[in-house]
Structure 1
Amino acid sequence: MQLNHLNLCVENVHEARDFFRDLFGFQLADQKGDAIVVMNDGHGFTLVLSNPLLFGGVIPEYPKDFHIGFYVETPEEVDQHCDRLEAAGIPMEKKPKKIRGGYTLYFRALGGIMFEITCLAKINLGEK
């Protein structure tokens, strides 16, 4: 079995669409105004971004440790993502660092949702 679909509730689907498109390479598959955006990653995963406020709901307060993770192949890719995020004005509390045998960047965006970018390759991370 493979996880291939996730609905993420956000207040601004346009901001979230641009975030996932510009910073993570997701492609727009469909959009219904301010309510729903459907995107795919080109590898069989579909991300739905929805604004529950438009359906009488509320934006959930995600738990502190809830996060969305991306794996990359090399530590250099983690650093490149860090540079792109900084250039896009995404604030980061800490730079990437070695954590649990990998090289990881954590940051918050889209109303405080935590994101992780990790390289799990068993390589020499040097002074990182």
Structure 2
Amino acid sequence: MQLNHLNLSVKDVPATRTLFETYFGFTCNDPKLNDTLSVLNGSDGFILVLMNQRMNEHGNHTYPDTFHIGFYLEDETAVKNMWEQLKNGGIEPEQAPQIMRKTFGFYFSFDTFMVEVTTPIKA
């Protein structure tokens, strides 16, 4: 069994699509590039669906405080480089990369969700 996809409910589909394409290597293969729905493919076959919150007028439009999506990078240098790329792109992570439990990384908020960028600390 393999996890196939994740559907994120967001306020701004185009901006969120750009985030994942620019910094996390996703590609949009959805011919209907619009502000209501985008289907993104990861390099490993994982599918990320971005759906505008307005599409579903009923239900919860907020995530729990600890909800986040995470990306593992190859080493601390890659984490630091990603932090710099995000800052240079106008995205302000709330913290600089740091040791967090047994990993090195950082979190940042975007649209309606939080992203973790981290790498395991090598012993």
Equivalent residues of 1:71, 1:119 under 8 A apart: yes
C-alpha distance 68-18 of structure 1, shift in aligned 2 (>3 A): same
Whole-Å Cα distance in 1 between the matches of residues 53 and 94 of structure 2? 29
> In structure 2, what residue type is equivalent to 1:100?
R
Alignment of 1:4-19 (within 5 A): 4-19=4-19
> In structure 1, what residue type is equivalent to 2:80?
D
Equivalent residues of 1:52, 1:58 under 8 A apart: no
> In structure 1, what residue type is equivalent to 2:29?
A
Residue 31 of structure 1 deviates from its aligned partner by 4.7
- Tell me the TM-score normalised to structure 2 length: 0.90
The residue number in structure 2 matching 1:103 is 104
For the aligned residue pairs, the C-alpha RMSD in angstroms reads: 1.6
Q: Could you list the runs of 4 or more consecutive aligned residues of structure 1 that deviate by over 6 angstroms after TM superposition?
A: none
Superposed CA offset, 1:32-73 (max 9, x none):
322110001121100000013034346711111100100011
Whole-Å Cα distance in 2 between the matches of residues 30 and 72 of structure 1? 26
Contiguous gaps of at least 5 residues in structure 1: 124-128
The residue number in structure 2 matching 1:20 is 20
Identity, % of aligned pairs?
A: 39
- Tell me the TM-score normalised to structure 1 length: 0.87
- Number of aligned residue pairs: give it: 122
Whole-Å Cα distance in 1 between the matches of residues 31 and 8 of structure 2? 14
- Other structure's SS at 1:16 match: helix
Residue 114 of structure 1 deviates from its aligned partner by 1.0
Equivalent residues of 1:107, 1:116 under 8 A apart: yes
Whole-Å Cα distance in 2 between the matches of residues 89 and 97 of structure 1? 20
The residue number in structure 2 matching 1:126 is none
